[in-house]
Amino acid sequence: MAASSAERQAMSRALALALRGPRGVNPQVGAILLDADGTVLAEGWHRGAGTAHAEVDALSKLDAGAARGATAIVTLEPCNHTGRTGPCAQALIDAGVARVVYALDDPGALSGGGAERLRGAGVEVEAGVETEAAQALLESWFTVQRLGRPEITVKWAQSLDGRAAADDGSSQWITGPASRADVHRRRASADAIIVGTGTAIADDPALTARDGDTLFPTQPVPVVIGAREVPADAALRRHPREPLFYSGPDLHDIVADLRDRGMHSLFIEGGPTLASAFLAAGLADRVLAYVAPVLLGGSRVALNDIGVASITEARRLVVDEWVPLGDDLLAVARLADAPQAQTK
Ligand code: RP5
């Protein structure tokens, strides 16, 4: 039976509840229990790995037996997996829930299959309600499920002749205010912002996401990669999130560690050595190239060795958008050889 308007409304509310949970290793999920008249019996959401899942959180707010015959509205297919907590599909069956309406299938190899388990126990299941909003909520979590690592965006600013700095190393600013404001908005939606020690020392960046002097409510964790010591009074050490420093390890290990810390999206902000290393390692899904109408000449190119020895090895891009920003132009592009580009 298709979802009723009360069920659709409850799904929108469940999506808002999901947002109360942290972005992390587990997906953000919200759940609502409705009685036969569509009245809300209880609400729940997931508060992060190791804590009750949204359905169980909602059930825990009711007396035993009170969910008998109820409808559960859940933003993600109830899990079928015993991890640190038990399978939600079974908890719903045990509570006597008669109908489950959910937005998206759980893609997890271990956690998927909840709908089948529910149906097997005689519970009515309706999937695919408010999928677009649920997809937007869980996009970066799905990326981690699909790729096994966070989504990686490599950003740089360059002169029209492809330079990231003048020959003395000065680079502030190549692009105009509209481009820089755009960068800050994008920083705010990333989980981590990554620079090399070269950039950390030469530019002393704050690495915050801000509008003028005002910080956006969400801030990426600043991450610095490289062997050199970042000064004790560096601006990034005053960042509202505690910075992470990696000195030696392989980029793949660093990315895996950031994933294990619950990060879904990484924003690589330079400089050229670090950006090139991520590209060369195949650790880039998206490129943001801000191009300014200025010439710098000299040797400080925006990218150096990305593993392309000959034109036949060129890394092709699929441009999603050319965005005019004041006098600058931003290319928002995907690497044609990135796993994501092929599935879109
Ligand atoms: C990067 O961000 C540049 O490399 C520059 O060093 C840095 C500036 O960061 P904020 O100090 O504005 O945070 O684009």
Residue 87 CB–ligand 1 contact under 6 Å: no
| Rounded CA separation 265/153 (Å) | 8
Centre of ligand 1 from the C-alpha of residue 31, in Å = 40
The protein residue with its alpha carbon nearest to ligand 1, atom 9, reads: 205
Q: Are 154 and 283 in contact (CB under 8 A)?
A: no
- H/E stretch holding 270: none
User: Is 17 a residue whose pLDDT tops 90?
Assistant: yes
Neighbours of 337 (CB within 10 A): 12
159 lines ligand 1 (CB under 6 A): no
As a whole number, the mean pLDDT across the chain is: 93
- Given a cut of 50, whether residue 208 has pLDDT beyond it is yes
Residue 221 DSSP symbol: E
* pLDDT-based confidence at residue 269 (cuts at 50, 70, 90): very high
Ligand 1 within 6 A of CB of 199: yes
Residue having the nearest C-alpha atom to atom 14 of ligand 1 = 269
User: Which ligand 1 atom is nearest residue 207's CA?
Assistant: 13
| Whole-number pLDDT of residue 342 | 39
| Tokens standing for residue 221 | 């964790």
Is there an atom of ligand 1 within 6 Å of 182 CB?
Answer: no
Contacts of 263 (CB under 8 A, 6+ apart): 150, 191, 192, 221
- The residues facing 159 across adjacent strands are 292
Judged by average pLDDT, the poorest of 19-33, 93-107, 312-326 is 19-33
- Does the pLDDT value for residue 153 go beyond 90? yes
Average pLDDT value for residue range 90-103: 97
Confidence band, pLDDT 50/70/90 cuts, at residue 109:
low
ipTM of the shown complex: 0.93
Whether residue 303 contacts residue 156, with contact meaning beta carbons closer than 8 Å, is answered with: yes
Query: Ligand 1 centroid vs 262 CA: distance in angstroms?
Result: 24
**Average pLDDT value for residue range 224-243:** 97
Percent of the chain predicted with pLDDT > 90: 85
- The alpha carbon of 246 is separated from its chain's Cα centroid by a whole number of angstroms, namely 21
Q: Cα separation of 140 and 334, whole Å?
A: 16
Q: How far is ligand 1, taken at its centre, from the CA of residue 280, in Å?
A: 22
Query: How do residues 315-325 score in pLDDT, each as one tens digit?
Result: 999 999 999 99
Q: Is 179 in the pocket of ligand 1 (CB under 6 A)?
A: no
Nearest CA to ligand 1 atom 1: 269
For the annotated catalytic residues, the residue numbers are 55
Predicted TM-score (pTM) of the model is 0.80
Residues with Cβ within 8 Å of 210's Cβ and at least 6 positions away in sequence, in order, are 184, 216
Q: What span, in angstroms and rounded, lies between the C-alpha atoms of 189 and 63?
A: 39
Ligand 1, pocket-test mutation among 180, 183, 203, 273, most atoms within 8 A of CB? 203
Contact status, residue 97 vs residue 67, Cβ threshold 8 Å:
yes
Q: Whose CA is nearest to atom 11 of ligand 1?
A: 205
Nearest-CA residue for ligand 1 atom 8 is: 205
- Band (pLDDT 50/70/90 cuts) for residue 42 is very high
Q: To test ligand 1's pocket by mutation, which of 219, 269, 274, 303 has the most ligand atoms within 8 angstroms of CB? A: 269
| Closest to 292 (Cα-Cα) out of 305, 302, 277 | 302
pLDDT score at 339: 64
Q: Is 285 in the pocket of ligand 1 (CB under 6 A)?
A: no
Per-residue confidence (pLDDT) for residue 341, from 0 to 100: 42
Asked if residue 80 has its Cβ within 6 Å of ligand 1, the reply is: no
